[in-house]
Structure 1
Amino acid sequence: MHEQPHSDPRIACAVVDIAEGRLDVQAALDFVGDDAHGGIDVFIGRVRASSHGRQCVGIHYDMFDALALNVFRATAAAAVERYGPAAKCYVAHAKGRLAVGDLAVVIAFGSPHRDEAFRGCREVIEAVKHQAPIWKQEHFVDGLSEWSEGCSLCGDAHAQAGDAAGHAHAEPAAVRA
């Protein structure tokens, strides 16, 4: 696991090499849990069995760890600042070869109230998907594989329309987990 030290004790970020370990949802819950928090929201992204109508057997995630951690940290810090001094955020993403059903990303956000927890968690996962340097190679049952373009590279009208309408994209993703 590659963690980046952060001076703010309200933020934890990690890249987990699947060859060395797995993402830990309980660790995320433990980190954001606090007696001051009435709301904890968790996003868990898993590898799907299909993508764009094709059956998948797995995904390989690659990333520039240090830069990805910088994006995770900056995104978490912005959300924590926006949702108050008691808010806490945990961000972890897997890298390496994952099978269908494996956990790819875990985001947890704790705050005194549920609305802030929901909003903070959503903000962080959307930023991770759109900004982090994460590359996804999908592996299909027919033996072929393809690299996903991801949202950090897209600028299509659909993505822009989603932003203009104030909605998240249906399939954002440098990390379509």
Structure 2
Amino acid sequence: MPLATTSIGAIDMEDMEQLGAFKQHDDQLDVRFERYYPRSIERVWSALTNPVRLGDWMGTALVEPYVGGRYEVMLDGPHPMTGRILVWEPPHVLEFSWSNTHAPDSIVRYELTRDGDGSRLIFLHKGMPYASSALMLPGWHVYFERLGSLLDGTTPPRSKQSWREMQAIYVDHYKLSGVMLDP
């Protein structure tokens, strides 16, 4: 169900559901985003699992495509994300551990289903540290925008300003307090 339009800076959020949802458990969050991409499930899967494609929207990557294989991405920040693949069910489910030097280990899961002529992506980040939420929530949001641009054949934006604008939206919308604002 669409919510009221919110405008912050140059960004109009016609559907606040684009901000995802989370449940807090003590000092951790379980985060859920849902996106629709008007592309085949195989094309979206490739963008999530092919290191060259990942490099176009997320960062330089290494993917060993099997359970136990490495899933590593050099994100925009100063610390790489390293992990091990926990579930590998092409082209529907990818789950891996998420670890870096400034946050405790957590789990990331992508679930893809066909939706008409396109694909529905359900993204889960389980165990996201609350203290890092103002960094990670807008980060994922911007990454999903980049993914959409890549799938549409346009150049994904790589603007620190858009991330900062999204950070302000997330902090305000979810009333995040006592969280890190800089990596």
Question: TM-score w.r.t. structure 2 length?
Answer: 0.37
